[in-house]
Chains A and B, each alone.
Chain A
Amino acid sequence: MNPRKIFIATVAIVAIAVGAWLSYQVASPPRAQSTRAATLLNGANALPEFTLVDHTGAPVGADVFTGQWDLVFFGFTHCPDVCPLTLQVLASARQQLADSGFEPLPRIVLVSVDPERDTPDKLAQYVSHFGEGNLGITGELEELRKLTGALGIFFGKSMREDGSYLVDHSSAVLAFDPNGQFRALFGSPHQAENYVHDIPIIVDQS
């Protein structure tokens, strides 16, 4: 084959490849972005009725999760390591999203799994440490179990020899949409960059 024919054949092959690629791009719908850490949920069940109190002492029910996006963590104030670490990650992610101009910014919610020690006053001090606009929720154990039971959140006391106790608890963070629907779950370990990446996708796909 002479050089001219080789050139023409090469051009033809490249043209066919480019044509095929272009037609694929045009014909294919845009692929949805994948989340890095969050598991998306399609339509969760409505929350049951419950009566707890927020960090100001005001009663709250299931509608406390409506009106804004919420990132909800279940922890307690006598937890020195993983709870402040998780809340710090959420606060950092929220700040990074704010700095990037993203809206709607999610609210950070701590539901105490230690209502015996976590009074509204204590929760108010605690959640405000991680920024403005955060919400703390506490209340009667029986009412708390209505909420956690519906969401598959585990918690339980772990007694110590000296009579004090710690609380074992689910480490997940749940994302609720403005209709109060549980839309996504972040498992641990929690990393701010994963939230910054995933939250816009969760909001977009809801």
Chain B
Amino acid sequence: MNRFVPILAVALVVACSDARAPLVASDVTINKPMPGMQMAAGYLTLTNNSPEPITITDVTSPQYGAVEMHETMIEDGISRMIELSEVTIEPSSSVAFEPGGKHLMLMRQKGEPDLVTLELHADETVVLTISVAPGD
């Protein structure tokens, strides 16, 4: 069964990354939690192909108790994590969640999933679902 998980993960990411879709995710990376931890970081780039801004207001995952959008801010040599209540992707633009910047903070992992699904919400609507095998 496990042999098919990476194939399934790739297939799902490809399916969700249809360039014709209004919102496309690329460079999706979800780390496994560090040893002894139940939290992990997630990174991805979101591209808005639609003519209207898309505002992500919430992210959920069946494999985690909570997912938050955070941004690492370094000011005057001090590193702070700021929780983002929403992230807007302007038309024909991309927003990168990348190490040292905006990122997803996945908390309270349930079990040890082979596949992590992220559901990106714009208010009450799920606008994008991504599944990916967590990496080290």
Binding site for B on A (CB under 8 A): 77-82, 84-85, 121-122, 125-126, 128-129, 154, 158, 160, 166, 168-172, 187-189
Contacts and interface: CB of A to CB of B under 8 A. Distances in A.
A82 B105 CA distance: 12
Contacts, number: 72
Given A126-B36, A170-B79, 13 more contacts: A80-B39, A81-B72, A82-B72, A82-B74, A84-B34, A85-B100, A122-B36, A154-B78, A166-B81, A168-B79, A169-B79, A188-B77, A188-B100
A171 B74 contact: yes
Given A81-B41, A81-B99, A125 B105 contact: no
Interface of B: 31, 34-37, 39-41, 70, 72, 74, 77-81, 83, 99-100, 103, 105-106
**7 tightest Cβ-Cβ pairs between the two chains A and B:** A125-B35, A80-B41, A171-B79, A125-B36, A168-B80, A85-B99, A81-B103
A187 B81 contact: no
A122 B37 CA distance: 8
Nearest to B71: A81
A79 B36 CA distance: 13
Given A171-B74, A188-B74, A189-B100, A81 B81 contact: yes
